[in-house]
Amino acid sequence: MRKLTKKKIKISPPLLISGSFLLLIFVGTLLLKLPAATTVPISWTDAIFVATSATTVTGLSVFDPGSVLTGFGEGVLLVLIQFGGIGLMAFAMAVLMMFRKKIGLQNRLYLKEAYSQYSFGGIIRLVKYILIFAFTAEGIGIVALTLYWIPEYGLADALHLSIFHVISAFNNAGFSLFPDNLVGQQSDPFVLLLLSTLFIVGGIGFTVVVDVFQKKGFRHWSLHTKLMITGTVLVNFLATVLVLVLEYDNSETIGKLPLFDKLFVSYFTGVTPRTAGFNVVDYGAMEDPTLLLTMILMFIGAGSASTASGIKLTTFIVVVLATISFLRSEREPEIFGRTLRIEIILRSLAITAISVLTVWLFLFLLAVTEDIPFLPLAFEVVSAFGTVGLSMGITGELSSIGELLVSVLMFIGRIGPLTLFFLLVKPKKEHYRYPYDQVFTG
């Protein structure tokens, strides 16, 4: 009897995370719909859309937040962003810890290595550490940016702008109070470097930050940290170079900028798609190959248990490694002197497959409901799924149904499609295994 009762009140992590996000969006919608929140009345769909966009740290908006939101409205937006960014990071870490605790022997070693600072029950302490990390990073960012902006804006406005943009950056939200996002800042290396550092640190994942701070030297890092750091450096470098080369002569993006600015803008444009979503150029004027590159980067995203979304860089790396090892007739891939288990490959396969399916399905639905050209629509869909917030400028043209569809997609993208599907699919009961059989593929 007792066992039954216990089972009944147990809420699964996927349900808890989905439920709390929905609650947050619900409350956020109500607050944004209050007359006090906006300078002009907004529709319910617009309120839902922007509340979802903030909670999922996407940054897509159907109106200009800087001019439409009042101080109160901005405050609501920031709270939603903090909960949606840091909150999910803390939650994901807690789940990872509980998960790891259950796995037992095979991961004990890793667990000891990576989380030796926590007792196993110390979820609260973990959350405390995450908050300390987040608020320290944001605090430093706010002070630095305020000091830098005082000469230009005066103390009050500098502080106001800094708080908003630093929180937006660290949480990978990409909302800006400037009407053209950060296009006006494209020749300001200080702002670009500061904000990009914040969103890279916020998006790389808490375990990675802990590892890098606690252990001196690459050799001592966990495999996850090694992959994230190497992968991030490599992908960001490649993306920067590709953007620079592809847009070099495009007079509507970086073509007219001096070389130094070209470099910085290319760097920022290369790193921002992996969830941050600030833009320093007009994506509507970008070359098709660069847009294609950006879509891939948005789909990949950054780190697990972070303020970023997407399928995650490690998922992408595992799929690539598994493919290479298959071609080399190896069963399990090896990297940095470690072997990856089949389970991780199967998980990465599932995440990628479900994500592709989700993106495709929503693109299909929006192609039915919207009268918008294919590329901008596909770009918007991938951007919403990756909770990136970059847009070729069609967000305001979405129909009401379109806004709701994109809202649902941002929600799925942030909680992770796996989380959602775990809610929908019941685990199979144990039974005897059927005999093995062969199928021809490819």
Residues forming the site for K ion (CB under 5 A): 59, 172, 174, 277, 388-389
Cβ-based nearer residue to K ion, 376 or 389:
389
Candidate list 71, 104, 258, 435; residue touching a second copy; CB under 8 A: 435
Neighbours of 248 (CB within 10 A): 14
Q: Whole-number minimum distance, CB 152 to a second copy, in Å?
A: 39
Cβ-based nearer residue to a second copy, 42 or 351:
351
Residue 331 contact partner, candidates K ion, a second copy, none, CB within 5 to 8 A by sort of partner? a second copy
Give the integer Cα–Cα distance in Å for 307 and 381: 20
Token representation of residue 287:
């070359």
Does position 120 interact with a second copy (CB under 8 A)? The reply is no
Q: Are 271 and 300 in contact (CB under 8 A)?
A: no
Residue ranges of alpha helices (H) inside 105-258 are 105-115, 123-153, 155-170, 189-203, 206-214, 223-247
Give the integer Cα–Cα distance in Å for 286 and 93: 37
Q: Whole-number minimum distance, CB 307 to K ion, in Å?
A: 9
Give the integer Cα–Cα distance in Å for 16 and 97: 16
Give the integer Cα–Cα distance in Å for 94 and 77: 25
Q: Whole-number minimum distance, CB 141 to a second copy, in Å?
A: 26
Cβ-based nearer residue to K ion, 81 or 161:
81
Residue 229 contact partner, candidates a second copy, K ion, none, CB within 5 to 8 A by sort of partner? none
Q: Whole-number minimum distance, CB 300 to K ion, in Å?
A: 14
Which residues does residue 38 pair with via DSSP β-bridges, in sequence order? 69
Residue 174 contact partner, candidates a second copy, K ion, none, CB within 5 to 8 A by sort of partner? K ion
Cβ-based nearer residue to a second copy, 70 or 107:
107
3-state secondary structure of 354: helix
Token representation of residue 231:
């992968």
HSE (side-chain half, CA atoms, 13 Å) at 112:
6
- 254 alpha-carbon distance from chain centroid: 26
Count of residues that bind a second copy according to CB under 8 A = 84
b/e sequence 82-101, b meaning 16+ C-beta within 10 Å: bbbbbbbbbbbbbbbbeebe
Cβ-based nearer residue to a second copy, 325 or 395:
325
Amino acid making up residue 8: K
Does position 94 interact with a second copy (CB under 8 A)? The reply is no
Q: Whole-number minimum distance, CB 133 to a second copy, in Å?
A: 17
Q: Whole-number minimum distance, CB 165 to a second copy, in Å?
A: 29
Stretch that binds a second copy, among 149-157, 161-169, 192-200, 318-326 (CB under 8 A): 318-326
Q: Whole-number minimum distance, CB 75 to a second copy, in Å?
A: 32
Looking up tokens 């802990």, which residue turns up? Answer: 210
Residue 334 contact partner, candidates a second copy, K ion, none, CB within 5 to 8 A by sort of partner? a second copy
Candidate list 56, 232, 304, 395; residue touching a second copy; CB under 8 A: 304
| Footprint of a second copy on 4-63 (CB under 8 A) | none
Q: Are 188 and 180 in contact (CB under 8 A)?
A: no
Q: Whole-number minimum distance, CB 315 to K ion, in Å?
A: 18
| Footprint of a second copy on 331-350 (CB under 8 A) | 331-332, 334, 337-350
| Footprint of a second copy on 365-384 (CB under 8 A) | 367-368, 373-375, 377
Give the integer Cα–Cα distance in Å for 216 and 395: 45
Q: Are 392 and 375 in contact (CB under 8 A)?
A: yes
Candidate list 123, 292, 394, 408; residue touching a second copy; CB under 8 A: 292
Q: Whole-number minimum distance, CB 386 to K ion, in Å?
A: 8
Give the integer Cα–Cα distance in Å for 213 and 329: 38
3-state secondary structure of 386: coil
- The DSSP 8-state label assigned to residue 35 in this structure reads G
Stretch that binds a second copy, among 154-162, 189-197, 402-410, 415-423 (CB under 8 A): 415-423
Closest chain position to K ion (CB): 277
Candidate list 209, 265, 322, 398; residue touching a second copy; CB under 8 A: 322
Q: Are 206 and 130 in contact (CB under 8 A)?
A: yes
Token representation of residue 93:
């870490």
| Footprint of a second copy on 199-238 (CB under 8 A) | 205, 207, 222-224, 227
Token representation of residue 117:
């600072």
Cβ-based nearer residue to a second copy, 152 or 330:
330
Does position 105 interact with a second copy (CB under 8 A)? The reply is no
Stretch that binds a second copy, among 45-53, 129-137, 256-264, 308-316 (CB under 8 A): 308-316
Token representation of residue 301:
């995203």
For 335, the enclosing helix (H) or strand (E) is strand 334-335
**Residue 286 vs residues 16, 59, 89, 169, 189: alpha-carbon distances, Å:** 40, 19, 32, 23, 21
